[in-house]
Structure 1
Amino acid sequence: MSQNKQILYGFSDIPQALLLNPGGKVTNDWYFGIPLLSHIHVNVGTTGSTVYDVFANDGRDFNLKLQNAIYSMKSNDFLSINEQLEVFSGGFKIGPSYEKDKYISFGLYQEFDFIGYFPKDYAILAYEGNQSNINRVFKASDFNAKAELISVFHVGYNKKVNKNFTFGVRGKIYSSIMNANSTNNKGYFITVDGTNNFYDHIFNLDLELRTSGLTSLTGDNANSETALKDIKKRLFLGGNLGLGFDVGFTYQLNKQWMVDASLQDVGFIRHTKDVENYKVEGNYVFEGVNPLFPETGTGQTAEDYWNEIKTQFEDVFVVDTTYTKYTTWRPEKLNVSVNYTFGEKTSQECNCLIPDGGYQNAIGLQLFAVNRPRQPQLALTAYYYRRIFKGLQAKATYTLDSYTLSNIGLGVSANIGNLNFYVMADNFLEYQNVYNAQSVSLQLGFNYIFKKHED
């Protein structure tokens, strides 16, 4: 699922796991991420028809495949895209030399997030037209989408209270590079038998598109050089600003059982710069234009007819442009997991357990939820973690989410000296035909880690 990083969550060998739970376990004294390479994440998913469903070269008629796609999807089906790129990051322990029970982490990352719901009534109207749908109400609220490009500067504090309990918080400053959202649309469209013409087209609309950061980049006076400068400025906290926080904890129930949880992105962005909004509101009745096409002589030509329709539509539908400031709320995310470790580390020399050597295996369940415009999206993951040998760990996951009930993922973290590399991907069963995949996800990164503990 978009924004769900079920393989990375709880993978404490990788420093970026603290971004998902600031109260997670810390297994290094300090680290720094290789700039622009420490965390790269891309996820694309759809709950409806795929590209393959419509464009597959399978001998079936394209119009029939398009029709099946439109009617099989629901208005709550959606397309989501999420991308993250870590610009820089680091972390270090603080405290007395004999314990160092506190950890500070920091960084800056860029994120793009898009979600768009399938506008089913719009699609049916476009496909069938209104002549075969007299007296049918088409919902204007079916259009629901938002997109944002932001940068996030963050500082986290992690505290090991005792051997059983660790908590953490992370403060965030959001800088919006650009934003567009249209999520509160209302109204309807209906065609009825007319009095002055064949049909009356009745519109009851309350539609709005809010934008910030777009006009200066796409307007008449924009050019590539100034646009690039503006984007760089906004990336480093020069855009529309907001505040937020993450909070999380880890609690060791006993030697082998552990629970943890985190709440991310509780915050907002206030859009005050480069704001431009577009609104259509009101009740309209369009009676159409009576065609009078004479074979010869004077009269209304086809071009005149369509020009008159265009003029009347422009008169009926007045788009109001406003510059009202607005606030967007970040999509809050919840993670909760329970974990069981087993398989104590043994010494090959004496064939005995190594004191405080830790466990080599872990299994667990993780619940993920993210707040979305129409309804929360949930995912449940079962996982198996294994320390293969010193410097190499792997985690396999099986996830039930909005996209599929058979999401199998795998992640590997490897250390060569102090250099750490990790790569993670899920939905392996769908990679045999990526065009038919409901979702694909990839994460990878490079870090320099100092004094990486094995417990």
Structure 2
Amino acid sequence: MRKASLLFGLITCLSFSQNKQILYGFSEIPQALLQNPGGKISNDWYFGIPLLSHIHVNGGSSGISVYDLFAKDGVDFNVKLQNAVNKMKSTDFFTFNQQLEIFSAGFAMGPSYEKKEYLSFGLYQETDFIAYFPKDIAVLALEGNANNINRRFNLNHVNVNAEVISVFHVGYNKKVNSSFTYGVRGKIYSNIINLNSTNNKGVFVTIPGENNFYNHIFNLDLELRTSGLNSITEEDSDFSGKDLVKRTLLGGNLGLGFDIGFTYNLTKQWSLDASLLDVGFVRHSKDIKNYVVDGVYSFEGINPLFPETDTGQTAEDYWNEVGEDFEDLFELDSTATKYTTWRPVKLNASLNYSFGKKQSEDCNCLKEDNGYLNAVGMQLYAINRPKQPQLALTAYYYRRLFNNLRVKATYTIDSYSFNNVGLGISTHLGGFNFYVMADNFLQYKNIYDAQSVSLQLGFNYIFNKK
């Protein structure tokens, strides 16, 4: 049973960060403004096709892959499980992220001959999950405590945060001059569900007992905080789709946040840009239920060690008594204390070089055009997480193949691999725009051995600047 629980934890904790390195800086796609509100803009106005303008899903694992556990290579499964636990560290993390844009739009403002200002707005829903690998708990589940007498198992390895949230946003972008553009975006968060347990402390240790073989000592300071979950999971719950819509439309636990960003042209061909996203918080005050275990507990079992058969006690009665005694050992407190959570702040920064003007077919000269055909650059990404920031470094190549087709290829080094190759394509058919992006192509020959997969796609209607 303990191996089954451990296996479930390993194969269900799929992870990849929220990095959107292909979309970042892809100025022909309106959703790139969500990655940098101060980015370049190449349209007069647009609107996203509702529920289809941006769909983003990713998953993976920073420590192991599904193939590591289930490959048909002749190695015993128990050996693979043991190797997986030994390989992973308490700093290995597991995340899942999903985004769905419900609606979005934007339009240029100002005098018709320049229109240096741009207003964008929308609503999207996001699911974000992160958990760190509980190394000591996994070792305890796999090996048991009989072989680990006097070993202190750290309970602060238990660290998890999950939320489902909707975000209303309004962004303002201004081109100050030919060199500098900046932007800001205000956000209202409406939290639908939150579950977090990130400040746990304590140890578990087994020592020789006085009244039994072993004495189990628990020094606990554990807390699980939830909002929006109790009304869904409680018995006889009448939670419905109408309640879900209400929470999505500012009826949940509310919070505020903002994004900022800029683009600066160092020369005609060199540019620098950066953004800081989701600087904000959510105040949880509705539908709260928290669970706290705090104290030092000691458990030696009950005496006698085996059932008293001469008194009519059966083995089932004995083990029921052991179980009840163990459950009564801990004092689980339930509270409705309000709490605040901070959004995971994200940083993007890139240095870019554009080159290659289009030549005229009639003469050996440069043709007037809307910019360079090629661009290369380096992008740094970081996201704040409970234990430590997650980082990624990306090199990219961008190419305008035709007037209506753009491609971007990326090579990313991150916490999951050193060979993450991605590709994004954006096409325009009249005013209709479609884009699709995917990561980690080198692993698609054996998807089960991939430690990360990611997909983005969307549909917009765009009226481009002439």
- TM class by shorter chain equals over 0.9
Question: 198, 204, 209: which one pairs with 2:219?
Answer: 204
1:21 is aligned to 2:22: no
Question: 404, 418, 430: which one pairs with 2:417?
Answer: 404
Q: Which residue of 2 aligns with 1:315?
A: 328
In 2: Cα distance, 1:395 partner to 1:292 partner: 68
Residue 294 (structure 1) shift? 6.1
Decide whether the 8 Å contact of 2:411 with 2:422 is kept in 1. yes
Output the amino acid matched with 1:363: V
Question: 382, 386, 400: which one pairs with 1:387?
Answer: 400
Matched residue of 2:327: which SS?
A: helix
Decide whether the 8 Å contact of 1:345 with 1:357 is kept in 2. no
Which runs of structure 2 are paired with 1:347-426 in the superposition (5 Å)? 347-355=360-368, 357-426=370-439
Residue 138 (structure 1) shift? 0.2
Residue 357 (structure 1) shift? 4.0
Decide whether the 8 Å contact of 1:252 with 1:259 is kept in 2. yes
Decide whether the 8 Å contact of 1:344 with 1:357 is kept in 2. no
Task: Classify 1:296/1:14 alpha carbon distance in 2 versus 1 (closer, same or farther; 3 Å).
Answer: closer
Which runs of structure 2 are paired with 1:23-422 in the superposition (5 Å)? 23-223=38-238, 226-293=239-306, 297-355=310-368, 357-422=370-435
Q: Which residue of 2 aligns with 1:429?
A: 442
Output the amino acid matched with 2:408: K
Residue 64 (structure 1) shift? 1.2
Identity %: 70
Q: Alpha carbon RMSD of aligned pairs, Å?
A: 1.3
Decide whether the 8 Å contact of 1:169 with 1:247 is kept in 2. yes
Residue 296 (structure 1) shift? 5.3
The runs of 5 or more residues in structure 1 that have no matched partner are none
Matched residue of 2:355: which SS?
A: strand
Q: Deviations over 1:301-351 (max 9, x none)?
A: 321222122222222111100000000000000000000000012211223
Decide whether the 8 Å contact of 1:293 with 1:299 is kept in 2. no
In 1: Cα distance, 2:93 partner to 2:425 partner: 30
Matched residue of 1:359: which SS?
A: coil
Residue 60 (structure 1) shift? 2.2
Output the amino acid matched with 2:94: L
In 2: Cα distance, 1:354 partner to 1:186 partner: 66
Output the amino acid matched with 2:109: I
Decide whether the 8 Å contact of 1:293 with 1:300 is kept in 2. no
Decide whether the 8 Å contact of 2:307 with 2:318 is kept in 1. no
Output the amino acid matched with 1:167: Y
Matched residue of 1:196: which SS?
A: coil
Residue 299 (structure 1) shift? 4.9
In 2: Cα distance, 1:296 partner to 1:375 partner: 56
Residue 227 (structure 1) shift? 2.6
Q: Which residue of 2 aligns with 1:11?
A: 26
Residue 298 (structure 1) shift? 2.1
In 1: Cα distance, 2:397 partner to 2:71 partner: 36
Q: Deviations over 1:78-129 (max 9, x none)?
A: 1110000000000000011111100000000000000111111111111111
Decide whether the 8 Å contact of 1:43 with 1:83 is kept in 2. yes
Matched residue of 2:386: which SS?
A: coil
In 1: Cα distance, 2:53 partner to 2:402 partner: 23
In 1: Cα distance, 2:307 partner to 2:60 partner: 53
Matched residue of 1:32: which SS?
A: strand
In 2: Cα distance, 1:50 partner to 1:120 partner: 17
Output the amino acid matched with 2:352: N
Decide whether the 8 Å contact of 1:92 with 1:104 is kept in 2. yes
TM value normalised by structure 1: 0.97
Decide whether the 8 Å contact of 2:355 with 2:374 is kept in 1. yes
Output the amino acid matched with 2:371: G
Output the amino acid matched with 2:283: R
Residue correspondences, number:
451
Matched residue of 2:240: which SS?
A: helix
Decide whether the 8 Å contact of 1:377 with 1:402 is kept in 2. yes
In 2: Cα distance, 1:320 partner to 1:401 partner: 40
Q: Which residue of 2 aligns with 1:441?
A: 454
Q: Which residue of 1 aligns with 2:9?
A: none
Output the amino acid matched with 1:298: T
In 1: Cα distance, 2:169 partner to 2:182 partner: 17
In 2: Cα distance, 1:170 partner to 1:203 partner: 47
Residue 45 (structure 1) shift? 2.1
Matched residue of 1:344: which SS?
A: coil
In 2: Cα distance, 1:92 partner to 1:121 partner: 53
